[in-house]
Amino acid sequence: MKIIQKFMTRNDCYQANEKIVPKGILLHSTATPGVMAHEWYDMWNKSYQKGEINRKVCVHAFLDDENVMQYLPWDHRGWHGGGPVNKTHIGIEMCEPAGIVYDDKYGSTIIEYDVEANEEYFRKAFKNAVELCVMLCKKFNLTEENIITHCEAHKMGIASNHADVMHWFPKHGESMGSFREAVRKALNND
């Protein structure tokens, strides 16, 4: 896993310079098929307050099958969960491969997905996400138990109602349980 640091200095979250003590990691996936990690820089390195972008949004990192792009210092308050979770959790977005077709009506319901074609991409991105979470757990004294995904955070009442990443992981036989288990194994050298 290679981390490329390129802070979104125009983004309001960066400008606000509000610090957090990370208590966990919130894992997202983008629901934007085919837009890879490095491409989000130009899309989101903008100020909502100055009207350069139509939503207030910022995460700490985007990752894909190749790289992790770190866009915000890990201890800055991000804006990715639509709730109190922003003040406690590091936000990570996993980029989704091209070719996924979503139902417009529900936004996060996938209606067409080629498992075989996406398997290699998924495995590499999943591995990068595990490695990044392992690194962050070590850095901030967290465990796999502190890693949640957006839909879990919603059920806990601390984030907006999104389906990620559980609309995607099961297509490849994974879940947040198996994700946490992979992080646990790496943390404990099992």
Contact 56, 20 (CB under 8 A): no
Rank residues 144 and 164 by Cβ distance to Zn ion and give the closer one. Answer: 164
Element (H, E) at 137: helix 115-140
For Zn ion, give the closer residue by CB, 28 or 89.
Answer: 28
Report the alpha-carbon distance of residue 76 to residue 167 in Å, rounded: 28
Which listed residue (12, 28, 77, 85) binds Zn ion by CB under 5 A?
A: 28
What angle, rounded to 10 degrees, do the helices at 176-187 and 115-140 form?
Answer: 50
Nearer to Zn ion, 76 or 162 (CB): 162
Span near Zn ion by CB under 5 A; candidates 64-72, 140-148, 156-164, 173-181: 156-164
Work out whether 162 is an interface residue with Zn ion (CB under 5 A). yes
State the Cα–Cα distance between residues 21 and 73, nearest whole angstrom.
12
Contact window for Zn ion (CB under 5 A) among 5-13, 145-153, 166-174, 175-183: 145-153
Residue 164 near Zn ion by CB under 5 A: yes
Q: Binding to Zn ion by residue 180, rule CB under 5 A?
A: no
User: Counting contacts by CB under 5 A, is residue 150 touching Zn ion?
Assistant: yes
Nearest to residue 144, comparing CAs of 181, 105, 98? 181
The tokens of 166 are what?
């559980």
Contact residues toward Zn ion (CB under 5 A) are 28, 150, 162, 164
